[in-house]
């Protein structure tokens, strides 16, 4: 499904943000990436989405190497990837339903969608997506009125409207209270299982990784430290990810 | 033990008495500079308040001759009044249509290239720098007398004002939802219509209403150069010494300006 091979990113100032990184995530798998601040977790996701261009390596999405694509071809290939962030990034003045349906815009380029309209079929599908994340009753509410947890669930519904094969989540629970954070993690885990979506989730909360991940990947200084099934990841190994440089 | 290694002059500045004296001197210099600026302004405009006092009877005579306003001319002034408002509406609409895409190019966070950014900024700056009266003269030459050149003049001049304010609004908006939409695979125009416009719509409407209000005031003056509306009627009445008609026109202008200002303020308040 998603295969990352020898991925490296060196910034123009010479700093190596990612170094020879390998990762494979299959359909239905829930992988959590752990690491300290500046370890390269978010850079990894940004490279996978091709928001930044890696200096070296390959990103295979099924049989397509994203690193070899540009322009329209890249846009089309990227439709299979969706992303959620720490902040839900909703258009606050639009209703929840429109926000969710806008996730499908990449598949519909018509006069209607070019001028702010949304396909009726996608609006219907968006209602189903909202029901999946448990927010069907909020469809017509403005996004600005939602709580943090609700907004993040709407962002997930929008990501699903894209019908992705891979869902990338960059610290999706960082700004949520523990209850809401658990809710989001349960939802992501369920989506991986039922929708057969490959989920890659960057987290800081080690306990959530132990509770929900199928596999845990440790990253430090842009390098992979471990890639193990949840049960085989020791507390010491995780602890070492967060130790200061000198240690 | 602390040793003060600063040069003697710097040490003197550290003395509170010196600091107070320096602050007083600075205040005096600033006050003198302010006074000099005011005095030069009086000199440059050749201000002669005594002339105003001696000439006041001339003004009083003019006002006396303008009274009472000639309300019999009211039906004949309604059409030019409507023209004045419509020149402003037309100009504002033309301004929005041109300014919105230009603003996208002129916003640092949305522009597709540096060349487009500087070109758009230059165009916006140019349309703003040339006064609307000059634009009106140009368009009167091109399309003849009447309200149309007035509308065009206001439209082009509005591009400058609206373009700059729209671009600033776009630059200040939250980019996270825009990046999110881009990553869904939405095209540029879809990101614009589904992300940018809904996010900044209240600001855009507020700016537009403010500009419409300004354009209504400007369209009154444009008539003086033959660009139609009530301004043209006012100029004709003054040239023909029809002061009672002039006073009627001034009343109508007052009502239009005040009405537009109130409506614009009310709508902007509701939007905010």
Q: Does residue B2 fall inside a structural domain?
A: no
Percent of the residues in chain B that have a pLDDT greater than 70, as a whole number = 94
In this predicted structure, what is the pLDDT of residue B216?
A: 87
Which three-class secondary structure string do you get for chain A? CEEEEEEEEECCCCCEEEEEEEEEECCCCEEEEECCCCCCHHHHHHHHCCCCCCCEEEEEECCEEHHHCCHHHHHHHHCCEEEECCCCCCCCCCEHHHHHHHHHHHHCCCHHHHCCCCCHHHHHHHHHHHHHCCCHHHCCCEHHHCCHHHHHHHHHHHHHHCCCCEEEEECCCCCCCHHHHHHHHHHHHHHHHHHCCEEEEEECCHHHHHHHCCEEEEEECCEEEEEEEHHHCCHHHHHHHCCCCCC
CB A155 within 8 A of CB A175: no
- Into how many domains does chain B fold? 1
pLDDT band at A247 (very low <50, low <70, confident <90, very high): very low
- In total, the C-beta contacts within 8 angstroms joining chain A to chain B are 75
What's the average model confidence in pLDDT over A218-237? Answer: 91
Q: Does residue B41 fall inside a structural domain?
A: no
CA–CA gap between residue B234 and residue B247 (Å, rounded): 9
Q: Do A51 and B183 touch (CB under 8 A)?
A: yes
Could you tell me how many residues make up chain B? 272
What's the average model confidence in pLDDT over B178-183? Answer: 91
Q: Which of B185, B191, B197, B271 is the best residue to mutate to test the A interface, defined by the most A CB atoms within 10 Å of its own CB?
A: B185
pLDDT at A246 over 70: no
Residues of chain B neighbouring A83 (CB-CB closer than 8 A) = 180, 183
CB B184 within 8 A of CB A78: no
Q: Look at A164-173, A174-183, B261-270 and tell me which has the smallest mean pLDDT.
A: B261-270
What's the average model confidence in pLDDT over A196-209? Answer: 92
The total of other beta-carbon atoms located within 10 Å of residue B25's CB is 10
Cα B66 to chain center, whole Å?
31
Q: Does residue B227 fall inside a structural domain?
A: yes
**Would strands A56-61 and A2-10 be described as parallel, antiparallel, or unpaired?**
antiparallel
pLDDT in tens, A19-44: 999 999 999 999 999 998 889 999 99
Q: Does residue B200 fall inside a structural domain?
A: yes
Q: Which residue has the tokens 């599908």?
A: A125
In this predicted structure, what is the pLDDT of residue B1?
A: 46
Q: Does residue B66 fall inside a structural domain?
A: no
What's the average model confidence in pLDDT over B57-72? Answer: 86
What three-state secondary structure class fits B2?
Answer: coil
CATH of domain A1-80+164-247: 3.40.50.300
Domain ranges (residues) in chain A: 1-80+164-247, 88-163
Q: Look at B176-190, B192-206, B217-231 and tell me which has the smallest mean pLDDT.
A: B217-231
Q: Does residue B225 fall inside a structural domain?
A: yes
**Alpha carbon of B204: minimum distance to chain A alpha carbons (Å):** 14
Structural domain of residue B166, as residue ranges? 78-271
Which residue of B177, B183, B202 is in closest CB contact with A90?
A: B177
The larger pLDDT score, comparing residue B229 to residue A81, is at A81
Q: Do B183 and A78 touch (CB under 8 A)?
A: yes
**Backbone dihedral region of B7: left (phi > 0), alpha (psi from -120 to 50 degrees) or beta?**
beta
| CATH number of the domain that residue B166 is part of | 1.10.3720.10
> Any residues with CB less than 8 A from the CB of A74 and at least 6 apart, and which?
A50, A66
**Would strands A30-34 and A81-84 be described as parallel, antiparallel, or unpaired?**
unpaired
- Return the closest-CA partner of residue A44 out of A62, A28, A31: A31
CA–CA gap between residue B69 and residue B67 (Å, rounded): 5
State the maximum Cα–Cα separation within chain B, in Å, rounded to a whole number: 94
Q: Do B185 and A155 touch (CB under 8 A)?
A: no
- Return the closest-CA partner of residue A82 out of A152, A3, A188, A156: A156
In this predicted structure, what is the pLDDT of residue B264?
A: 78
Could you tell me how many residues make up chain A? 247
The larger pLDDT score, comparing residue A2 to residue B264, is at A2
Helix (H) or strand (E) holding B91: helix B74-106
Residues of chain B neighbouring A116 (CB-CB closer than 8 A) = 193-194, 197-198
Q: Does residue B82 fall inside a structural domain?
A: yes
What three-state secondary structure class fits B166?
Answer: helix
CB A61 within 8 A of CB A166: yes
CA–CA gap between residue A25 and residue A1 (Å, rounded): 6
């Amino acid at each position: 499904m998603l295969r990352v091979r020898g991925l490296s990113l060196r910034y123009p100032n010479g700093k190596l943000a990612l170094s020879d990184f390998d990762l494979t995530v299959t359909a239905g798998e829930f992988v959590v990436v752990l690491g300290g601040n500046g370890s390269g977790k978010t850079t990894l996701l940004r490279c996978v989405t091709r928001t930044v261009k890696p200096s070296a390596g390959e990103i295979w999405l099924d049989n397509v190497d994203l690193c070899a694509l540009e322009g329209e071809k890249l846009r089309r290939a990227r439709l299979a990837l969706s992303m959620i962030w720490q902040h839900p990034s909703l258009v606050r003045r639009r209703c929840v339903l429109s926000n969710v349906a806008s996730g499908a815009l990449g598949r519909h380029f018509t006069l209607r969608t070019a001028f702010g309209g949304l396909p009726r079929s996608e609006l219907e599908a968006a209602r189903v997506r909202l029901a999946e994340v448990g927010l069907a009753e909020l469809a017509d509410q403005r996004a600005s009125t939602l709580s943090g947890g609700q907004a993040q669930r709407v962002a997930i519904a929008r990501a699903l409207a894209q019908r992705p094969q891979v869902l990338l989540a960059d610290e999706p629970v960082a700004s949520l209270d523990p209850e809401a954070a658990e809710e989001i993690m349960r939802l992501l885990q369920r989506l991986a299982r039922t929708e057969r979506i490959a989920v890659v989730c960057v987290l800081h909360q080690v306990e959530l990784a132990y509770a929900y991940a199928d596999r845990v990947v440790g990253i430090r200084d842009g390098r992979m430290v471990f890639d193990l099934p949840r049960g085989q990841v020791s507390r010491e190994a995780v602890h070492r990810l967060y130790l200061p440089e000198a240690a | 033990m602390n040793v003060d290694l600063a040069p003697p002059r710097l040490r003197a500045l550290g003395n509170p008495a010196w600091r107070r004296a320096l602050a007083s001197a600075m205040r005096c210099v600033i006050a003198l500079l302010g006074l000099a600026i005011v005095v030069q302004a009086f000199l440059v405009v050749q201000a002669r308040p005594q002339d105003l006092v001696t000439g006041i009877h001339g003004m009083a005579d003019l006002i006396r001759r303008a009274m009472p306003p000639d309300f019999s001319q009211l039906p004949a002034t309604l059409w030019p009044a409507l023209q004045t408002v419509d020149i402003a509406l037309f100009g504002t609409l033309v301004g929005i249509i041109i300014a919105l895409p230009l603003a996208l190019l002129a916003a640092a966070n949305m522009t597709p290239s540096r060349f487009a950014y500087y070109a758009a900024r230059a165009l916006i700056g140019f349309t703003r720098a040339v006064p609307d009266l000059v634009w009106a003269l140009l368009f009167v030459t091109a399309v003849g007398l009447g309200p149309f050149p007035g509308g065009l003049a206001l439209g082009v001049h509005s591009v400058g004002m609206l373009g700059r304010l729209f671009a600033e609004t776009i630059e200040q908006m939250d980019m996270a939802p825009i990046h999110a939409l881009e990553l869904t695979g939405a095209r540029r125009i879809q990101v614009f219509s589904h992300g940018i416009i809904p996010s900044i719509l209240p600001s855009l409407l507020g700016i537009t209403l403010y500009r419409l209000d300004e354009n209504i005031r400007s369209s009154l003056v444009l008539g003086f150069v033959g660009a139609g509306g009530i301004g043209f009627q006012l100029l004709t009445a003054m040239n023909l010494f029809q002061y009672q008609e002039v006073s009627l026109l001034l009343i109508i202008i007052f009502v239009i300006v005040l009405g537009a200002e109130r409506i614009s303020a009310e709508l902007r308040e509701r939007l905010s």
